[in-house]
Structures are given as C-alpha cells and as structure tokens.
A and B are shown apart, each in its own frame.
Chain A
C-alpha cells in the first residue's frame, strides 16, 4: 500500500496528488431557503489510490462527486473552493473554474475521470442498446485509443467494447453488446457500467455507491472485479458508500463526511482501529461485527439527521454527539491533524475553530 498523506496547511506533498479538493462549498437555492450540501470539504486523491468517502445519506457525498465532474444541477451551485486535477499531460487545472459545458471539462469527463453511478438500471438509457452507449463514449474520447493519430471507426469501437465486456467478466459479450440494459441482470448491468467507465482508460474513477442496487453475492463479485481492475490499470478510485464493510474491503484511505463536512480522514487502518471523531466511532459501533458479514447497512445513530434547513450552529454533529461540550454549539471545529496521517474536526482533539 503506497504511503499517502493528506495535504493540509503546512504539510509537504511527497507526491503530486491526482486530485486536490480544497474547501469545497456547494449550496442549493430552493424556494424555502438555501441548503448547504457541501460545506467546506477538503481531501486529496493520489494516483492509483482508492479513496473511500463514507457517511449517511444526505451527507453530501454524491454532491461532492458531482461537483468534481461539474455536474451540479440547478438550483445547485459551487460557491467556493478548488478542485485541482492533474491532467494526463502533466498540467493541473482547477475544475471549478472550467465552464461546465466547455470543451475541456468534456474531455476530462469520461476521458480522464469516469463515473460508475448508483443505479445501473436507470443509468443506461432504456431505448438504446448498452453497446451503443459504450461505443458512443469510446468515440467521444477516441484519441485515447488512437494509434498513430488515426481516428477509430465505429467497428473498432465495437470491438473494443466487446473486449471490455470480456475484461469485466460478461459472458457472451458479442450478444450482450446488443442487449438493452433492462434485458441484463443487475450484476451484468453494473459490469457493463464498469466497462463503460473504463472504456476510455480514465485516471480517476468515481464509484457512487455502485453496489447498493444489487444483491449480496453479485455485490461481492462486483467489488472483487473493481479491485482487480484497479490493480490492473492502476486507476485511482473515489469510492462513495454508506457501507463501512465495503470501505474496509476496498479503500486504502477514508474520508468520513457528515452534513457536507469532513469529520475525519485517514488511512483505513487508522480509521477503523483508532477512530478519533465521535461520529466515526458511532458509525463503527453500529456495525454488529466488522468481518462477520459483508452486508452491513448503517443502523440508526441516536437522534435523526437534522432537516437541511435547520442546520445546527457549531459542529453539525453536536446535537447527536455523545461527547458534546458547550463549545461544540458555538464554533465549527476545523479539520486538524490528530495523529500520523489522520485528521479530525472535533474539539475533543484540538481547539481550532473555523474562522467566522
């Protein structure tokens, strides 16, 4: 496992990160008011690293992912922050500054950063064949398959697709290419989705809860496949899930989010064995047996997730926190190093608050 460090103020990068997210804030302007879905999130992704983002539904995981791809829909808006991405030509661009419909972001989407969505069923158009949709993606980024500057043809793209299908373990790939998504089983569908994501040899893969919609056995197979492919292509993966068990299997580094803020982040071992933040601890406690079974849903932590409009003042977690202190409702704790490679935003460990 390569050594990774999260870059924070004062820390020195040992290696240029593939993706640097800094103080990202995304809000939704609704009629009823403003929802701050991502509220100052920072983390890094190193080349070839599997980063897990974990948290309850509505904590801003998916919005963060959409922000990276510049896919935040109205009425959502990226307010501040940087998302620096190291392109394959060695240049670093701030994705936030790119026009969301411009040529550069479109080259990056699919070409350098690919997405494996949550619901493979709904994520394929039901009236186009699976193959069509993948071939389209290949043709969009054909330069990545080009040999000697020659554009690839549709026929070649189809061949590539069949090869990809074989790679992701779809049997009878020649026939399956012409199938519609709803003719495939859940597992096959997700495999096809993975094939599409990989079709343009991306350097970063964002997997947004890729296994929630499929059954347990298939889930394990898909995870195994993703691991194998990651090793094979050395692609970095941001793995978004609410399932700590999955994180334990997949990720080398973990970011724990709550209400749009990072609570804690660190190497997977540190997070699981020495959680610093009470929220992480609560999450871990809710798993009956960590290795006993793979299917671990996140049970209820005491209290309920507050309504997005009624954000508590101070630390967002304090109304549900077991270790709550008076300071918690006043200031918002910053994300600070709390050990080797481990960072937490909690007044239990430091007194640094976010500047108002």
Chain B
C-alpha cells in the first residue's frame, strides 16, 4: 500500500505539468483575450475605452506575447509558488482564491454533512424497511431530488422566500455582516443563511447517496454473515450497524475523495444564482472575462484536488476494507 501511494505521489508532478498545459490551452482557446472581454464589458455597461489605451494595456499585461511564452512565464511563476496577478482584480490570484476558500469550504462541508446526515439514515431505514410506506415516500423524494436541476430549485426557493416570507436569502450573510470581523453573531448569521444553499447544493447528492446506500445495504442484508450474526443473538439495530451497514458504507466512503473537487465545480451554477461568495462564481467570471491566470490557477487547484481526491479515496477504501489493505 505504501509503495502504491508513493508511486502515485511520484507521478503527480508529471501529471500536473500535463494538466497545466492542457488547462492553459483550454483557457486560451476562446478567441480574444482579457482585454477583448474587458472592452466588451465596458461597452455593454455603457462606457468605452480607446484603442490606444487597449494597446497599451495589452502590452503591459504581456498579452501580445506568443502562446508558449505566456505559458512558460506562467509555469515559471508557478514553480516559485506564485499564482500571478489577476488581470481583472489587479491583485495576487493566491489572495483572491484563499479569500474565497474559507467560505467555499464551509459551505461545501455544511452541505456534505447535511447530505450524509440525511442520506445515510434514510438509506438505512429504507433498506431495513423495504416496501414500507416511508420507504416509498423516501424513494419518490429521492427520485425527484435527483431529477430537479438545482439551479431551478435555487431560483424558485429564492423567489418563494422573498414573495411569501419577505426574506432575501441570497448570499451567505446579512448585509451588516458581510465584511464584519468574525464574531459569534457573525457565525450565527452564517448559520442562519447557510442552510438554504446547503440544502439546494446537497439535495441531488442526498438523493443519490441515499439510493446507493439503500441498494448497497439491501445487497448486504442478504449476505449469510447477517444470518450468522443474528444467530448469535445480537440486537437487530446493533447488528445492522455493525455488519451490513459497515460493509455497505465502504463504497460510499471511497467517494469522499471524489467529493473534494466536486465541491468547487458542483456549486458553480447554484452559487452564481444564489450570489454566494464562492470559488465557483470566481472561476466562471474569470473564464468569461478571460482572466486567464486566475482561471488557470483555480483549474490547476481543481485538478490537483482531483488527483489527491482519487488517491485519498483509494487510501480510505484500503483503510476501511482489510481485504484491500492486506492484499495490496
């Protein structure tokens, strides 16, 4: 196992180089550059900038350099741990990303906990009470949860909250707390606002997870070791938790690593619609405005997380499942 992990870690830098090139290629593929996008933004908000100024800026930002030169400059900086400067924000990308990181993670973690806290018990209940009324109800909820595009859900919930309860649920903070320093009141405010986006983000995941949990557990419940355990005289719920749930859980736990990158891309649309301070909208903006070093930085982190996530999943699965741990 250790050898396997070491091997994977060793090829990580190589993979990152390949990824960085592909990413740079992709973000550079759309026609135009940051300044074309910038001019377009200015023009569509009713203001303008002269051709001379554009040329000057283009030169200043090095956007008139050939593709490979730009790439190597980027790589050179990256190797020094420098994510470069955002063209739009005129601030170091590392700062911009790290500022959003905290709340992104908070939201992701919250929806993750919510997802698991709802999905796993629901899945266990459904599997241990198959074809019961509650099982059917949960199944229907799950299917609808999977089928509803979450951006639509977000939009409708936001409107309903406003139209019928007169509360504006966009954002993660009340206006007075957005830039306030951290305090108990601010945490409380965050907890008040986080549940709706957390729910919207988590709903499809919850539905999917509880269906997988149900299916896995149903499989496990039919295994002979369950009969053995029952024949030992164990309490039913204890038995279910200790044996089949534990086994049904393994494949789920192994997806936790995959969840890591999904935290960023999954919330992209919802975070934009709900105006959440999040990496997702930052990435979307950077892509649309062709703020390429910012977009590149976020994508690179994303790829890194995917690789690490995959590795983490494998390690987790091995830790949980002695069959894998001992044999490899």
Per-position binary interface string of chain A over residues 113-124, scored 1 when its CB falls under 8 Å from any chain B CB and 0 otherwise: 011011100111
Docked CA distance A43–B236 (Å): 29
CB distance from A152 to the nearest CB of B (A): 16
Q: Which of B71-79, B225-233, B261-269, B284-292 contacts A (4 or more CB under 8 A)?
A: B225-233
Q: How large is the interface on B (under 10, 10 to 19, 20 to 34, 35 or more residues)?
A: 20 to 34
Of all chain B residues, the one with the shortest Cβ separation from A66 is: B227
* A261 nearest CB across to chain B (Å): 24
Q: Which residue of A71, A109, A127, A196 is within 8 Å of B322 (Cβ)?
A: A127
Q: Is the CB of A140 within 8 A of B232?
A: yes
Other-chain contact of B250, A110, A123, A127, A182 (Cβ < 8 Å): A127
- Chain A interface: which size bin? 20 to 34
Contact B232 A126, beta carbon cutoff 8 Å: no
CB of B234 closer than 8 Å to a CB of A: yes
Which residues does chain A contribute within 8 Å of B130, judged by CB atoms? Answer: 74
Specify which of A106, A123, A136, A183 is in contact with B227 (CB 8 Å cutoff).
Answer: A123
- Asked whether any CB of chain B lies closer than 8 Å to the CB of A52, the reply is no
| Closest-CB distance, B95 to chain A (whole angstroms) | 45
Task: Flag if A183 contacts B326 (CB, 8 Å).
Answer: yes
CB of B31, distance to nearest CB on chain A (Å): 55
| Chain B 89-115 per-residue mask, 1 if CB under 8 angstroms from chain A, else 0 | 000000000000000000000000000
Q: Is the CB of B322 within 8 A of A180?
A: yes
Q: Most A CB atoms within 10 A — which of B223, B247, B322?
A: B322
With A and B bound together, what is the CA distance between A28 and B223 in angstroms?
A: 19
Counting chain B CB atoms within 10 Å of each CB, the highest count among A108, A126, A193 belongs to: A126
Q: Per a CB cutoff under 8 Å, which of A137, A140, A182 touches B323? A: A182
Q: Which residues of B have CB within 8 Å of A185?
A: none
> Main secondary structure on chain A at its contact with chain B?
mixed
B322 touches A106 (CB 8 A): no
Is the pair A127, B230 in contact by a Cβ cutoff of 8 Å? Answer: no
A107 — which chain B residues lie within 8 A by C-beta?
A: 233
Asked whether B32 is an interface residue with its Cβ less than 8 Å from the other chain, the reply is no
B248 CB to closest chain A CB (Å) equals: 11
B3 interfacial contact with A, CB 8 Å: no
User: Which B residues lie within 8 Å of A126 (CB)?
Assistant: 225, 247, 321-323
The chain B residue with its CB closest to the CB of A206 is: B231
A71 and B231 within 8 A (CB): yes
Least distance between B217 CB and chain A CB atoms (Å): 14
Q: Which residue of A lies closest to B230 (CB)?
A: A71
Q: Kindly list the 8 A-B residue pairs having the minimum CB-CB distance in the complex, ordered from nearest.
A: A109-B233, A110-B233, A115-B231, A110-B232, A106-B233, A122-B224, A137-B232, A123-B228
24 contacts between A and B (CB under 8 A): A66-B227, A69-B231, A74-B130, A101-B235, A101-B236, A106-B235, A108-B233, A110-B232, A111-B233, A122-B223, A123-B227, A125-B229, A125-B243, A125-B246, A125-B247, A127-B246, A127-B250, A127-B322, A137-B233, A140-B232, A141-B233, A180-B323, A183-B326, A193-B228
Mark A residues whose CB is within 8 Å of B.
66, 69, 71, 74, 101, 105-111, 114-115, 117-119, 122-128, 133, 136-137, 140-141, 180, 182-183, 193, 196
